[in-house]
Amino acid sequence: MIAYASRTGTRRNLDALREAGWRLLVSATGVQRTEGFRYALDNGAWTAHQQGSPFDVAAFVRAVDALGAGADFVVAPDIVAGGHESLRMSLAWLPRLLDQAPRVLLAVQDGMTPGDVSPHIGGRVGVAVGGSTEWKEATARAWGALAREHGAWCHVLRVNTVRRIRLCQDAGASSFDGSSVSRFACNLPRLDAAVRQLHLGATYA
């Protein structure tokens, strides 16, 4: 399972992440630098949700133009906890994003079911498990199973504890991201140890 940390500019934290082999999740609403890491690109919808502001389409387009081609994946625009409206939004972006990025993830949200998403995923289109915390934890295994069935990538968003890392493992997730280690380097040894203990000897693309 691949671990991504929210992008940080703090040199100490970057050095620790690099040594541990973590990757970065760059947000479209943040600083557009990869710091020499392998990276994925998030759309910035969670930041807009937290701030109560509209989704920044222009910032997302700029980020995709600059970084999409080199990203492990790009998370398509979504609506946090937005159910089927969110899925319609993500699917509308899908053709354009597949022209610019090697892999695109549909952020699944409260109210969606595997049957809603199944027709749209495969080798280059995967799922990012988002939504409310309670819904994400309750449905993660179902999304992991769906992704495996279709040979698709499954990423779990906002994972900042050992318990949630274990939830990702139980779900068979391909990857997860979190901000805890980006803000506080002292949290990295504990969370990285959890990843390594669960996945010792495994290899990932």
CA distance linking residue 57 with residue 184, whole number of Å: 30
- Residues with Cβ within 8 Å of 179's Cβ and at least 6 positions away in sequence, in order, are 5, 6, 158, 160
Identify the pLDDT of residue 2. 96
Q: What is the mean pLDDT of the chain?
A: 92
pLDDT surpasses 80 at 147: yes
Q: How is residue 161 written in tokens?
A: 């504890």
CA distance linking residue 28 with residue 46, whole number of Å: 11
Identify the pLDDT of residue 24. 97
Instruction: Assign 24 to helix, strand or coil.
Output: strand
Confidence class for position 201, pLDDT limits 50, 70, 90 = very low
For 23-54, b/e burial (b = at least 16 CB within 10 A) is bbbbbbbbeeebeebebbbbbbbbbbbeeeee
201: how many CB neighbours lie within 10 A of its CB? 5
Q: Whole-model pTM above 0.75? A: yes
Strands 175-178 and 23-27: unpaired
Q: Can you tell me the mean pLDDT for 112-126?
A: 97
Confidence class for position 129, pLDDT limits 50, 70, 90 = very high
Structural domains in the chain plus CATH codes: 2-199 (3.20.20.70)
Q: What is the pLDDT of residues 35-61, one digit of tens each?
A: 999 999 999 987 877 787 888 999 999
CA distance linking residue 5 with residue 113, whole number of Å: 28
Confidence class for position 196, pLDDT limits 50, 70, 90 = confident
pLDDT surpasses 60 at 138: yes
